[in-house]
Structure 1
Amino acid sequence: MPDAPRNLNNELAKERNRAAAERTLLAWIRTSLSLIGFGFGIDQIVTAIQRTRRLDYLGTMYLARITGLAFIAVGLYAMLSATIEHRQELRRIQRDDYLYTPRRSNALVVAIALMVIGIFAFLGIIISTLN
Structure 2
Amino acid sequence: MTRMFSLRALCATLLGLTAALGLMAAPAQADIKTSTVHIWASQVRVRECSNTSCGLASQERLTNVNVQAFCQRWDGRVSDGPYYNHYWVEIVTPGGWLGWVSAVYVSGGSNDGPVPGVPVETNSGPVYCEYP
Q: TM-score category by the smaller chain?
A: under 0.3
Q: Hey, which of these two has a bigger chunk of helix by percent?
A: 1
Q: Which has the larger radius of gyration?
A: 2
TM-score relative to the length of structure 1 = 0.27
TM-score relative to the length of structure 2 = 0.26
Q: Hey, which of these two has a bigger chunk of strand by percent?
A: 2
